[in-house]
Amino acid sequence: MLDLSLPATEVAPQLLGAVIRHDGVGVRITEVEAYMGLVDPASHAFTGPAGRAAVMFGPPGHLYVDLSYGIHRCVNVVCSPDGQASGVLLRAGEVVAGQDLAQRRRGPRAPAGKLASGPGNLGQALGAALTDSGTPLGLGRSAGTPAGWRLEPAAAPVRWTTTTRIGISKNADAAWRFIIPGDPTVSGRRH
DNA sequence: CTTACGATTGCCT
DNA sequence: GGCAATCGTAAGG
């Protein structure tokens, strides 16, 4: 049973194999990272609830979308109870619905099998915008609502392993990256 | 108000 | 393997 009010390090492995859907595209998640708020210098919430990180301190089950390097939209799932901040960054996945739309968003040169590999690419494939930050994430299999954000928990637990996180300089030793080993859509180093 | 800096990507050598 | 692109924040004057 998926409980987003748990700390991100607990939630992260449970998101592997889950499917996130938005605006016509569905992605089966294969790579995530946990960010632990006030106790994690690498987290955007490390400096407190001001500014962009405010949503991270809000209730769990909402989105936190961040602009990276001026270009890329990174999609996070807010975890921990209201008032506490932690979140799971979705880094990569396999497009399982809306292939054509995802390909159009990523451009004709993007490899068809890696439309959502890498945090920026995943955000682009899903059509994530900065204004989606703070949006509630619908939980469970979509009954009929085609629009909006939905998260379908994994049907069965998947095998996973941990590594250190990618592209950060602070708290770089924490093994808070979770991947499905051997999956071809995982970005960057595979261990 | 001004400046420096990324939870990255893709093109170049 | 190296590096430029690009813009919302956060930090500093």
Q: Is A72 exposed, middle or buried (0-12, 13-18, 19+ CB in 10 A)?
A: middle
Region A44-54: mean pLDDT is 96
Work out the average pLDDT over A146-175: 94
Question: Nearest nucleotide by C1' from A133 CA?
Answer: C8
Calculate the angstrom distance between C1' of C3 and CA of A21: 34
Nucleotides of C under 7 A from a protein CB: 5-11
Shortest CA–C1' contact from A67: which nucleotide?
Answer: C8
What pLDDT does residue A36 have? 98
Query: pLDDT tens across A66-111, in order?
Result: 999 999 999 999 999 999 999 999 999 999 999 999 999 999 999 9
* Three-state helix/strand/coil letters over A5-44: CCCHHHHHHHHCCCEEEECCEEEEEEEEEEECHHHCCCCC
Scanning every strand, the nucleotide with its C1' closest to A47's CA turns out to be C10
pTM: 0.96
